[in-house]
Amino acid sequence: MAPVTEVSEEMYTLVERMYPLCRSITGDGVRATLDIVGEYIPLQVHEVPTGTQVLDWTVPQEWNIRDAYIADAAGHRVVDFAASSLHVLGYSVPVSKTMPLAELRAHLHTLPDHPTWVPYRTSYYQPEWGFCLAQETLDALPDGEYEVRIDSTLEDGHLTYAEHVVPGQVSDEVIVSCHVCHPSLANDNLAGIAVATFLARALAQETPYYTYRFIYAPGTIGAITWLARNAERINGVSPARAEPRAGGSVKHGLVLACAGDPGRLTYKRSRRGDAEIDRVLRHVLTASERPHRVIEFTPYGYDERQYCSPGFNLGVGSLTRTPYAGYPEYHTSADNLDFVSPEAMADTLAVCREAFAVLDRNRRYLNLSPYGEPQLGRRGLYDALGGRSDTKQAQMAMLWVLNLSDGEHSLLDVAERSGLPFDTVADAAGALHGAGLIKA
């Protein structure tokens, strides 16, 4: 795992700052979160009105909450939203009444198998109210009357999402997407937001080949809204016509989530299964010798399932550490600041940077001297390798690049077939290109 650095500590600090906020699929918690992210990178924030049709969905009413509690007969708050945003069922309608515990129980959510943890529950699309609490708290409540109050509003407003673009040498895009809709859950989703933000900052210090578009959107409805508003641009698809057009701009993509837990890295392939991003992540993870898994696409999980829906079928995979629902702390109060670490986030960030470095340099070349092996010595190519610790490897890389530069094989193909490091292969291609022996 990557060591603690100034950047990894900054990522952890960002998670700490976002953690107390109550986020949902709409509302001021999302805006406050984007305000914080906006201190690190410039964001273009979009507000989409309630009732807007987005593909097969409709933007819902906006939900905001100010206070919520359950108080006993003495006025003591036995469950208090101020202590944790997880204590209220997400999207709870307002309520203010007194009722016996027997009636209240129907609106209480616990985790009997983990009696000290508070679950995360929502009711986005049907009017409901409720509280989430630890089982041990519920067990300690005596029978009697309880005051129940949820000071919330559910009314016409907006869905909020944001974008950040790192310009590249070409307009073809790589999208990086993370969800901003969960309340106080450090790994899912705040670690992913932090890694995405510092990845954007790192790319801005370079001159990437591709243009990188970072999308901060609520899960499911946010990604669907972004797709609806960008359908004809991203891959030439018109949902109204359900047919492709030429000239789409999104070439690759990655969904980031669960980026800070202690588990091994997991890459979930795109729906295509053999998209370039799939091959790049597999290569980078294998070459790095990090503990990892590569799993097949399923239409369940995070927003990769929206980007990979059959009408779009984008080459978008998902990078996590332990995947969704794969750890006991998932969607509970145990997914807290102690569950994530600067080292784990730094490791996830490092893999993203390594993968995008490969993606940016992966080209197909054409050998301009394909009849027999060109003489490398008289072009000074062997001399240029003098003093390298991997001189023999670099020479082999040149021969492999020359042999496979037929316009059909990419540098990643060369690296995989030869067993040589991608960077060595890319460096060899650069030298051969400079000598006029190959062209992109």
Instruction: For residue 393, tell me if it sits in a domain.
Output: yes
Instruction: For residue 293, tell me if it sits in a domain.
Output: yes
Say if residue 192 is in the same domain as residue 290.
yes
Per-residue tens of pLDDT for the chain, all 440 residues: 767 689 999 999 999 999 999 999 999 999 999 999 999 999 999 999 999 999 999 999 999 999 999 999 999 999 999 999 999 999 999 999 999 999 999 999 999 999 999 999 999 999 999 999 999 999 999 999 999 999 999 999 999 999 999 999 999 999 999 999 999 999 999 999 999 999 999 999 999 999 999 999 999 999 999 999 999 888 666 666 545 444 468 999 999 999 999 999 999 999 999 999 999 999 999 999 999 999 999 999 999 999 999 999 999 999 999 999 999 999 999 999 999 999 999 999 999 999 999 999 999 999 999 999 898 888 888 765 555 556 788 889 999 999 999 999 999 999 999 999 999 999 999 999 999 999 99
d(CA 271, CA 177): 16
DSSP labels, 161-230:
EEEEEE--SSS-EEEEEEE---SS-IIIIIIHHHHHHHHHHHHHTS--SSEEEEEEE-TTHHHHHHHHHH
CB 69 within 8 A of CB 81: yes
Residue at a domain's end among 138, 155, 172: 155
> C-alpha distances in angstroms, 191 versus 182, 238, 254?
12, 34, 15
CB 340 within 8 A of CB 191: yes
Say if residue 206 is in the same domain as residue 300.
yes
Predicted local confidence at residue 244, as pLDDT: 45
Say if residue 250 is in the same domain as residue 383.
no
Say if residue 283 is in the same domain as residue 170.
yes
Instruction: For residue 33, tell me if it sits in a domain.
Output: yes
Distance of CA 331 to the CA centre of its chain: 17
Say if residue 237 is in the same domain as residue 339.
yes
Say if residue 174 is in the same domain as residue 270.
yes
The encoded tokens of residue 27 equal 């509302």
Closest by CA to 218, choosing from 199, 193, 201, 194, is: 193
CATH number of the domain bearing residue 405: 1.10.10.10
Number of structural domains in the chain? 3
Say if residue 294 is in the same domain as residue 421.
no
pTM (predicted TM-score): 0.94
Instruction: For residue 207, tell me if it sits in a domain.
Output: yes
Say if residue 253 is in the same domain as residue 402.
no
Which helix (H) or strand (E) segment holds residue 42: the answer is: none
Q: Tell whether the torsion through CA atoms of 279, 285, 286 and 292 is positive or negative.
A: negative
Which helix (H) or strand (E) segment holds residue 336: the answer is: none
DSSP letter at 386 equals T
Instruction: Identify any residues that bridge with 153 across adjacent strands, giving them in sequence order.
Output: 64
Residue at a domain's end among 121, 137, 155: 155
Instruction: Quote the Cα angle for 10-8-196, to 5°.
Output: 80
Question: For the chain, how far is it from start to end, CA to CA, in angstroms?
Answer: 36
d(CA 159, CA 28): 10
CATH number of the domain bearing residue 94: 3.50.30.90
Say if residue 242 is in the same domain as residue 331.
yes
Phi, psi at 262, each rounded to 5°: -80, 0
Q: Which domain holds residue 376?
A: 364-439
Say if residue 182 is in the same domain as residue 282.
yes
Which three-class secondary structure state does DSSP give residue 381?
A: coil
CB 268 within 8 A of CB 326: no
The encoded tokens of residue 358 equal 């490969």
Predicted local confidence at residue 247, as pLDDT: 47
CB 214 within 8 A of CB 226: no
Instruction: For residue 76, tell me if it sits in a domain.
Output: yes
Residue at a domain's end among 102, 135, 155: 155
Instruction: For residue 386, tell me if it sits in a domain.
Output: yes
Predicted local confidence at residue 246, as pLDDT: 42
Say if residue 212 is in the same domain as residue 283.
yes
Say if residue 265 is in the same domain as residue 172.
yes
d(CA 12, CA 190): 9
Instruction: For residue 110, tell me if it sits in a domain.
Output: yes
Instruction: For residue 1, tell me if it sits in a domain.
Output: no
